[in-house]
Amino acid sequence: MSAQDTDIQASITSERIANVLKSRCTKENLCPVKDILANYGDKWSMYTVLLLGQYGKMRFKELKSGIHGISQRMLTVTLRTLEEDGIVIRTIYPEIPPKVEYELSHLGYSLMQRIVELASWADEHLPEILRARKKYQRRTV
């Protein structure tokens, strides 16, 4: 990439950041970054979205067994939040006992792609981050 291309990319990135940060956050005007990260930035939501993205339709018990450490209550809360925002589709089948399945919506797949990008970045840069943490800990002791 040439220096000119780098400058253009930096300018575009700077503009995108400015657009995100310029919004005035009030009760009437949600802050998209804060709102979205508050709902989906936790580890349970991310794991749930990734698991549904990998396996498609899943039942509650399948999700619970696939997300190590999550409680039944926390999974319920997570699924309700994701369903409320249109990320997850919940389908109830009229059987006895009722059969319930969860799957990602079109919007959910879009979110999953971004989470995969973040997860890939984290995986790629984990050694650097761990070195930085060690260096910081040595400085602060």
For 23-59, write each residue's pLDDT tens digit. 666 666 667 677 777 777 788 999 999 999 999 999 9
2 has a pLDDT exceeding 70: no
pTM of the model: 0.76
The domain defined by 25-140 carries CATH number 1.10.260.40: no
Q: Residue 121 has which token pair?
A: 């970045």
Q: Where are the beta strands (DSSP E) in the chain?
A: 88-93, 99-104
Max CA distance (Å), the chain: 65
Read off the pLDDT band of 113 (50, 70, 90): very high
Read off the pLDDT band of 140 (50, 70, 90): confident
115 has a pLDDT exceeding 70: yes
Q: Which residues touch 31 (CB under 8 Å, ≥6 apart)?
A: 23, 25
Residue 101 to residues 61, 63, 74, 93, 118: CA-CA distances in angstroms?
Answer: 10, 10, 17, 8, 27
**Separation of first and last alpha carbons in the chain:** 41
21 has a pLDDT exceeding 90: no
Say which residue the tokens 């002791």 belong to: 141
In DSSP terms, 58 is beta-bridged to 102
